[in-house]
């Protein structure tokens, strides 16, 4: 379950200096440098080094840290309708079950970090409802599901703190994914678990806040400091084809609504993901995933060439 800010405020760190922070009224101030101060808005600290971030301080404060991107909610009725048109993500389900099982064996109260948790991600509900999990979540905007606003290039938490980090469809929205992954490794304890889902063949979404894509091999190499537990595709060829049809018809008719209509009419294409063999899906995946464990050994470039699991 989500922790209260007071439960871990002593574990927060200045994103610029890495120093401990002390609370004084509506601010967090870096110990040893009173010039490094961070505002608290609606109970959520803004822990961002604006000199090194794409975020604009004036805009963020002017809009009270509300998301610059309109985000659809798929909870409740809309969520149930959406499920009818999507095949179950078997790998996601298995990975989440494995993570919760492993965490339960690891410690009585595992600490879990969700990066980009402004909205509850696919299959993430159990982390928010399980009283055994000490959950911390942040994003670049405020929401009821985050305790602070932060930039994942400088995670404002002390080193070796978490048992698990989840970063679901976020790495395409950061400028330097390799730095974010290094930060994930820093805040994880030895043997800590990381779970990542990142697009491969998807069109631009969230406009100006979309920067990168990864093949399945490239995604694995991004997590080169982690031992491989599992990896592969989340959305395969059918899902990718549906993305392509949506953006094609949107552009052809200059209409987002028409693109959505074609996607709705052809939703059944996604079910081909269930019968297309994994090697073919890897070469044309919509989204890939990686499940790993923090280790000291690094995978070398020659190993990543041998790692390739596609059909070519």
Chain-centroid distance of CA 121 in Å reads 9
Confidence band (pLDDT; 50, 70, 90) for 135? very high
Instruction: Give the residue among 156, 167, 279, 149 at the shortest CA–CA distance from 222.
Output: 167
Calpha distance 5→244 (Å, rounded): 42
36-82, pLDDT tens digit by residue?
999 998 899 999 999 999 988 888 877 666 666 665 555 566 666 66
pLDDT at 1: 92
pLDDT at 278: 93
pLDDT at 275: 93
Q: Once rounded to an integer, what is the mean pLDDT over residues 143-161?
A: 96
pLDDT at 218: 97
189-235, pLDDT tens digit by residue?
999 999 999 999 999 988 899 999 999 999 999 999 999 999 999 98
pLDDT at 88: 65
The pLDDT > 90 percentage for the chain reads 77
* Domain range 77-236+276-307, CATH architecture: 3-Layer(aba) Sandwich (3.40)
Q: pTM above the 0.85 mark?
A: yes
The pLDDT > 70 percentage for the chain reads 92
Confidence band (pLDDT; 50, 70, 90) for 101? very high
């Amino acid at each position: 379950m989500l922790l209260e800010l007071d439960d871990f405020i002593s574990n927060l760190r200045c994103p610029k200096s890495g120093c401990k922070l002390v609370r004084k009224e509506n601010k967090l101030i870096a110990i040893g440098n009173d010039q490094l101060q961070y505002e608290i808005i609606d109970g959520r600290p803004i822990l961002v080094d604006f000199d090194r971030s794409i975020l604009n301080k004036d805009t963020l404060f002017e809009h009270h840290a509300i998301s610059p991107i309109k985000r659809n909610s798929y909870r409740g009725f809309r969520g149930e309708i959406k499920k009818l048109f999507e095949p179950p993500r078997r790998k996601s389900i298995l990975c989440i079950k494995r993570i919760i099982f492993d965490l339960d064996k690891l410690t009585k109260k595992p600490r879990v970090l969700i990066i980009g948790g402004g909205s509850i991600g696919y299959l993430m509900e159990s982390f928010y409802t399980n009283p055994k999990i000490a959950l911390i979540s942040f994003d670049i905007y405020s929401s009821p599901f985050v305790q602070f606003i932060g930039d994942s290039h400088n995670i404002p938490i002390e080193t070796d703190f978490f048992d698990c980090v989840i970063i679901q469809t976020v790495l395409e929205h950061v400028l330097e994914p390799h730095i974010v992954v290094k930060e994930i490794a820093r805040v994880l304890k030895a043997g800590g678990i990381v779970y990542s889902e990142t697009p491969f063949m998807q069109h631009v979404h969230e406009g100006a806040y979309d920067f990168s894509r990864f093949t399945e091999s490239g995604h694995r190499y991004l997590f080169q400091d982690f031992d491989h537990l599992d990896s592969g595709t989340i959305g395969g060829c059918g899902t990718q084809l549906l993305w392509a049809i949506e953006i094609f018809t949107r552009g052809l008719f200059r209409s987002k609504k028409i693109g959505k209509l074609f996607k709705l009419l052809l939703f059944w294409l996604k079910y081909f993901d269930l019968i297309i063999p994994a090697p073919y899906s890897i070469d044309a995946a919509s989204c890939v995933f990686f499940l790993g464990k923090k280790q000291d050994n690094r995978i070398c470039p020659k190993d990543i060439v041998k790692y390739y699991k596609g059909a070519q």
